[in-house]
Chain A
């Protein structure tokens, strides 16, 4: 699937991944692909997207998580 926007938040500490994802959501182009490394960042990004009533899919890869945020 083509993603409209990628947010690479790998290695960034809290709360920067969430700040970047909120900016991407506000820009309004979906789907957004988010890359994070820690489960904490995964949870925070998931919570942020779900609060904005967006759909979240998570793929756990070898070294990171790929989160896809889409309009429901």
Chain B
């Protein structure tokens, strides 16, 4: 018989503890140096990592984020420890790559992944409410497709070594972060001198936080997209209680640390371009729903051997490079001498979001199993 009894991690209290832990850690990482209202942002941190590797040259957004490395390796460790490591792949990888790209383009139009949407709200940034509304709309569209039989097809088991690729790449990134090598003239690992990429907690703290979150999130299946999806799809609030706990814990911790400032204009690393906040996050939500997980969850799945999730992650990195190379990302408000200079989304960024929505809807409509 099975030894796989339901564990604490699989319980309601397990997911609440995971969400609260992430919210608390995010607030503390912000205190320890991470960017404001961005204690942890999976999209932003993958974007910074892409910049550090020179895949884009947006100088304020370049830093190898140890949190991301920790997410993959922590989940990898948990999967090994609990005999859940399982190498699998082959479920429409190119579709997942493109969904990852567009998810990132949408998230960067808003300036944050679903985690950061919650963390921005927990810091008083009310634009995040619109972002969350857009996210929910995108996920609702995804649920519509799922109910109509949308599927990217089955994955199959593959060689155990194949599932190790993203964890090994993550270890390589960690070495690059530690040694910051120069490979030649004009060929360094890039690191921002100013802007959000220059704001970071100490390496060991960031890495430890990432490992802890990766471990617990793998055990609990924490997913911010699933939180909304399961409510819409089947009135199930299991994952939502984790996301709610993240918001509540981060808000309380931010209050205690004096990190809450309510308002719309001039919020840190944010803009108030409402329409494109909603549409950007709708694109991200739809792409996450079609790919089966929020960006954090994709990292945790990749850590437990899911090669399709790993492809989505690589797609997000490519999307970040595309967004910054072609000025598609949201431009934050600037506060200078007490006056707010409003940011927003460029025409190119708006076009990219619309193209992404068309593309993702087409994927939803055309990739269905009959019956």
Contacts and interface: CB of A to CB of B under 8 A. Distances in A.
A14 B312 CA distance: 15
A14 B226 contact: yes
Contacts of A19: 146-147, 233
Interface string B1-42: 111101000100000000000000000000000000000000
Nearest to B292: A13
Given A13-B292, A47-B10, 15 more contacts: A14-B226, A15-B226, A15-B292, A16-B151, A19-B233, A22-B234, A37-B88, A38-B86, A39-B82, A40-B221, A42-B4, A47-B236, A48-B234, A51-B236, A58-B4
B146 A63 contact: no
A67 to B, nearest CB: 10
Nearest to A44: B221
A10 B88 CA distance: 11
Contact of B221 (A43, A58, A59): A43
Contact of B152 (A13, A46, A60): A13
Given A43-B10, A43-B221, A58-B2, A15 B233 contact: yes
Interface of A: 10-16, 18-19, 22, 37-40, 42-43, 46-48, 51, 58-60, 63, 65
Given A10-B154, A13-B155, A60 B238 contact: no
Given A18-B234, A59-B1, A11 B155 contact: yes
24 contacts: A10-B154, A12-B154, A13-B152, A13-B155, A13-B292, A13-B308, A14-B292, A15-B229, A15-B230, A16-B151, A19-B146, A22-B234, A39-B4, A39-B84, A43-B221, A46-B6, A47-B236, A47-B238, A48-B234, A58-B1, A59-B1, A60-B1, A60-B3, A63-B157
Nearest to B10: A43
Main secondary structure of the interface of B (DSSP, over half): loop
Interface in B289-319: 292-293, 308
B91 interface: yes
Contact of A37 (B86, B221, B293): B86
Contacts of B4: 39, 42, 58, 60, 65
A51 B152 CA distance: 27
A11 B91 contact: yes
Nearest to B309: A13
A38 B84 contact: yes
Given A11-B88, A37-B88, A43 B146 contact: no
B363 to A, nearest CB: 14
Contacts of A60: 1-4
A16 B146 contact: yes
B139 to A, nearest CB: 11
Given A18-B234, A19-B233, A22-B234, A13 B2 contact: no
B294 to A, nearest CB: 11
Nearest to A64: B157
A42 B308 CA distance: 19
A59 B234 contact: no
B335 to A, nearest CB: 41
